[in-house]
Amino acid sequence: MFVPQMKALRQTISSTPHHMSLKPLLTTLLALPFFMAAHAQEERHNQLSLYIGPATIARQDLIFSPFIHQGLSPLVVGMKYEKTKKVHQYLRLDYSGFSAGLETPYDYIYNGEVETAYPHSFTFVALRYGNGRYLGKSEHPRSMIGGAINLDVQAMNYQYGRSSYFGYFSTVGLHAWYKYTFLESEKSKLTGRIEIPLVSWLARSPYLINDDEFIENAFSHNGFKTFFAFLGDGHIATWGELHRADIELEYQYKLSEKFSLGAAWRLAFIHAGKPVDLFSYQHSLNVMVGLKL
């Protein structure tokens, strides 16, 4: 069901490159949390939430393959800390890992022997800090708007029989989000949320996959140095080049004064146009356990 969606978007979305220095963006993004915290109000409540559940992915990256690779992750894990009064603040960490492929596992012949190919593996880690305010002056406002600083790191290993290629996609961005409360009672709460990027620092695998600069970046064999070398090769990307959206629906039921139980559905869409198209759809359905602090 993902194939028609990708084909339609590929025909309608165009991309425009933007190139600037990494330093001014990082300076702005690192300073923003301190500005937000300085304007925060005394919190009405604090909550720590754990999210766990399955997820599916459909991904097409023309750098590595013209095919759409689909996969299932039995376990996606997330943790979020939030505090709310007039100002809502949150810090969230998410992890997901997928085994994906066009048709896996499959057999191939090497030196007269039949061997089985491994599926591709995708590992995603995301760290988000956000700040927002309620709209309106009613006693129980339903709408909230805010901004967020997002760090997304996506590492891919594409397996092709006896050969494999490493790929990466990483962004550091300033996002805008809107949240609406559809239902709120003494026990239940249903909310919806959408988030889009305003400006991002985008780092992506080179068109030639393992070109000279890629090999030079990885030469240290130090994961920390290599990550920042890859990130440093990125550039500023606005909506003209990087299209992405995160859509969430979350339901919570209050079990007691301390604990709540719920469920959350999320769609994460990405399209990047340079050097060639990348499309990614990720659906997740999580059970949520909340602890009021």
pTM above 0.85, yes or no: no
pLDDT grade for 278, boundaries at 50, 70 and 90: very high
How far apart, in whole angstroms, are the C-alpha atoms of residue 209 and residue 49? 38
pLDDT in tens, 22-68: 555 555 555 554 444 444 444 467 999 999 999 999 999 999 889 99
- Amino acid at site 228: F
Which DSSP category does 20 fall into? -
In 3D space, the residue among 292, 217, 210, 198 whose CA is nearest the CA of residue 252 turns out to be 292
Question: Which two structure tokens, joined as six digits, stand for 145?
Answer: 């708007």
Across 6-10, 156-160, 273-277, the highest mean pLDDT is recorded for 273-277
CATH label of the domain that carries residue 159 = 2.40.128.100
pLDDT recorded at residue 21: 52
**Residue 80 pLDDT greater than 60, yes or no:** yes
pLDDT recorded at residue 192: 97
pLDDT in tens, 116-130: 778 888 999 999 999
Q: Which domain holds residue 194?
A: 2-292
Which DSSP category does 67 fall into? S
CA distances (Å), 241 to each of 28, 196, 274, in order? 21, 13, 7
Element (H, E) at 230: helix 223-232
Domain count, the chain: 1
Question: Which residues are CB-contacts of 253 (< 8 A; sequence separation ≥ 6)?
Answer: 187, 188, 260, 261, 262
Question: Which residues are CB-contacts of 16 (< 8 A; sequence separation ≥ 6)?
Answer: 240, 241
Residue with tokens 């599926």: 119
pLDDT recorded at residue 16: 40
Q: How many residues make up the chain in this entry?
A: 293
In 3D space, the residue among 77, 85, 127, 81 whose CA is nearest the CA of residue 292 turns out to be 81
CA distances (Å), 157 to each of 31, 122, 163, in order? 34, 6, 10
- Render the burial of 60-85: b for 16+ CB within 10 Å, e for the rest: bbebbbeebbbbebeebebebebbbe
CA distances (Å), 133 to each of 188, 193, 251, in order? 21, 14, 20
Element (H, E) at 69: strand 69-84
pLDDT recorded at residue 31: 52
**Residue 171 pLDDT greater than 90, yes or no:** yes
pLDDT in tens, 96-155: 999 887 766 777 777 888 877 788 889 999 999 999 998 887 777 889 999 999 999 999
pLDDT in tens, 212-226: 566 666 666 666 666
**Residue 166 pLDDT greater than 60, yes or no:** yes
pLDDT recorded at residue 138: 73
% of the chain with per-residue pLDDT over 90: 49
